[in-house]
Amino acid sequence: MEYAGVEEGRAAPGLRVVLTAGGPGPWSETAKGLLRIKSLDYLPVAQVAGSEDGALRDWTGQTAAPVAVWNDEPPQVRMSEIVLLAERLAPDPALLPADPRARAWTLGICREISGRDGLGWSRRLTMLDAQLARQSEGPGREQTRHFCRKYGHDPARVPAARERVIRTLAWLADELRARKRSGSSYLVGDALTAADVFWAAFAALFAPLPQDLCPMSRGLRRMYTETDPAILEVLDPALLEHRDRIYQHHIGLPLDF
Ligand SMILES: N[C@@H](CCC(=O)N[C@@H](CS)C(=O)NCC(=O)O)C(=O)O
């Protein structure tokens, strides 16, 4: 993917989306998936993982990705706001149901997957913890420490984060099974919603797609690949089949970052 720099992105009109370059960051991949399904054109702007980019902070008030910016509107840094912006700019195909109950449920699933203390956030804490345990002193460990500070790693919180991962994966698998019994192959109702896109992208934090579809450095692949037996036990094959279907039929492959 070709990226603009932050200053160029800031000066450009229309839709600009700041994305983590060079790897399948699940937050950024979710935003890309939503925009792809909606055929929304945008200018990708590079965020370099681990860098504290002053220009990005000046523009968006923070240094993580993704951020979606529409014309002169305030930058949207929360995943729920990015979904709502995408819905507004391209209502068709809708990725949030019209029915309020189904809509609240869909946004709730998205939040449980991507929000603070949700699945991805908790998995990141367990990943950082494992990295700290295996890295010796050096630049790699310094980078890990940086992410630990940025994303609130605290050894005392890791068991609860692991438990959150287990419970959320088990719940998502239950949801899929229940939908399947009703004859649906989607997480909510009978059609694709943002919840399916969120899960597809965040599955990378447990079992990344094969190298030909998702080229990653060995280090990143190792970090993303789940090895905890208790988590693997709830990582139902149906969850990964669902991820594959959503990528094959809706988002498109290979990943490009
Ligand atoms: N703003 C997002 C969170 C985004 C996030 O956690 N981004 C990470 C995921 S890869 C990131 O940019 N990491 C790289 C970095 O901080 O340098 C939210 O509201 O949930």
User: Do residues 112 and 230 both lie within one domain?
Assistant: yes
User: Do residues 129 and 192 both lie within one domain?
Assistant: yes
Distance between CA atoms of residues 21 and 153, nearest Å? 23
Q: What local confidence, expressed as pLDDT, does residue 123 receive?
A: 98
Residues paired with 45 in a beta bridge: 4, 18
Name the pTM for this structure: 0.97
E-strand spans in the chain?
15-20, 43-47, 67-70
Cis peptide before 44 (omega within 30 of 0): no
Q: Among 18, 20, 30, 123, which residue has the most ligand 1 atoms within 8 Å of its CB, making it the best to mutate?
A: 20
C-alpha of residue 64 to centroid of ligand 1, in Å: 4
Q: What local confidence, expressed as pLDDT, does residue 16 receive?
A: 98
User: Do residues 49 and 120 both lie within one domain?
Assistant: no
Q: What local confidence, expressed as pLDDT, does residue 229 receive?
A: 97
C-alpha of residue 115 to centroid of ligand 1, in Å: 10
User: Do residues 205 and 83 both lie within one domain?
Assistant: no
Residue closest by Cα to atom 10 of ligand 1? 25
Is the residue at 256 inside a domain? no
User: Do residues 138 and 190 both lie within one domain?
Assistant: yes
User: Do residues 27 and 49 both lie within one domain?
Assistant: yes
User: Do residues 124 and 56 both lie within one domain?
Assistant: no
Domain extent, residue 44, equals 6-89
Residue that terminates a domain, selected from 89, 109, 132: 89
C-alpha of residue 146 to centroid of ligand 1, in Å: 13
Task: Report the CATH number at residue 43.
Answer: 3.40.30.10
Please state, in angstroms and as integers, the Cα–Cα distance from residue 95 to each residue in 27, 44, 163, 201, following that order: 17, 21, 29, 15
Is the residue at 1 inside a domain? no
User: Do residues 166 and 217 both lie within one domain?
Assistant: yes
User: Relative to the CA of 121, which ligand 1 atom is closest?
Assistant: 6
> Mind listing the pLDDT tens digit of every residue in the chain (257 residues)?
999 999 999 999 999 999 999 999 999 999 999 999 999 999 999 999 999 999 999 999 999 999 999 999 999 999 999 999 999 999 999 999 999 999 999 999 999 999 999 999 999 999 999 999 999 999 999 999 999 999 999 999 999 999 999 999 999 999 999 999 999 999 999 999 999 999 999 999 999 999 999 999 999 999 999 999 999 999 999 999 999 999 999 999 999 99
- What is the arrangement of strands in the sheet containing 15-20, beginning at the earlier edge strand? 43-47, 15-20, 67-70
Is the residue at 11 inside a domain? yes
* Pairing of the two strands 43-47 and 15-20: parallel
Is the residue at 55 inside a domain? yes
Q: How many structural domains does the chain have?
A: 2
User: Do residues 119 and 192 both lie within one domain?
Assistant: yes
- Which residues does ligand 1 sit against, CB inside 6 Å? 20, 25, 27, 47, 49-50, 64-65, 77-79, 114-115, 150
C-alpha of residue 205 to centroid of ligand 1, in Å: 13
Is the residue at 244 inside a domain? yes
User: Do residues 192 and 172 both lie within one domain?
Assistant: yes
C-alpha of residue 66 to centroid of ligand 1, in Å: 7
User: Do residues 20 and 85 both lie within one domain?
Assistant: yes
Is the residue at 257 inside a domain? no
User: Relative to the CA of 150, which ligand 1 atom is closest?
Assistant: 16
Residue closest by Cα to atom 14 of ligand 1? 49
Task: Report the CATH number at residue 191.
Answer: 1.20.1050
C-alpha of residue 231 to centroid of ligand 1, in Å: 23
Q: What local confidence, expressed as pLDDT, does residue 223 receive?
A: 95
User: Do residues 81 and 109 both lie within one domain?
Assistant: no
